[in-house]
Amino acid sequence: MNRSNAMNFSSITEYDINYKPGSARYNVGQTSNFMISPILLEGLNQINQWGTTNIQAYCQMLSNYLKESLTPMGVEFEKENYFYPHLFSLKLPNNINPEIVKSQLENKNIYVSLRGSYVRVSINVFNQKENLEP
């Protein structure tokens, strides 16, 4: 996070040799903000209430739905040993422009990021099956 281009997540693997100015060059993302500590505590309490196993099962159900819907359209999913139900990448068919897909999804308030020729998808408890319909 201390490189000059670190905030541009779509090119985060294209490291810039330049660091941020001043002491920011030593920042690796752990800036303090004590005001959000109560918010963090409530978030952790909510996760404990739902249960991590239930959260993972919910994400698995949604990602399975995506696989079933998109695979027949030529979308490729990561191999099973690299696939996590809450965070994964899709490879679109060559005739589909990932930038256009990203833009169309943003128009529906669905946000993904691009990693080279892949679309990075993050599913979580705030997503619903209706959000994922092709």
Question: pLDDT-derived band of residue 18, with 50, 70 and 90 as boundaries?
Answer: confident
Residue-wise pLDDT tens digits, 20-51:
778 777 777 666 677 888 999 999 999 999 99
d(CA 134, CA 101): 11
Global pTM reads: 0.70
Tell me whether residue 90 is in a domain.
Answer: yes
- CATH (domain of 78): 3.90.1150.10
Q: Does residue 13 lie in a domain region?
A: no
As for how many domains the chain has, the answer is 1
Instruction: Read off the pLDDT of residues 84-120 as tens digits, 9 standing for 90 and up.
Output: 999 999 999 999 999 999 999 899 888 899 988 899 9
- Is 107 domain-assigned? yes
Q: Is residue 93 part of a domain?
A: yes
For residue 121, the SS3 value is strand
pLDDT tens-place string over residues 63-88: 999 999 999 999 999 888 888 999 99
Nearest CA to 78 among 123, 119, 127, 112? 119
Residue 102's domain spans which residues? 60-132
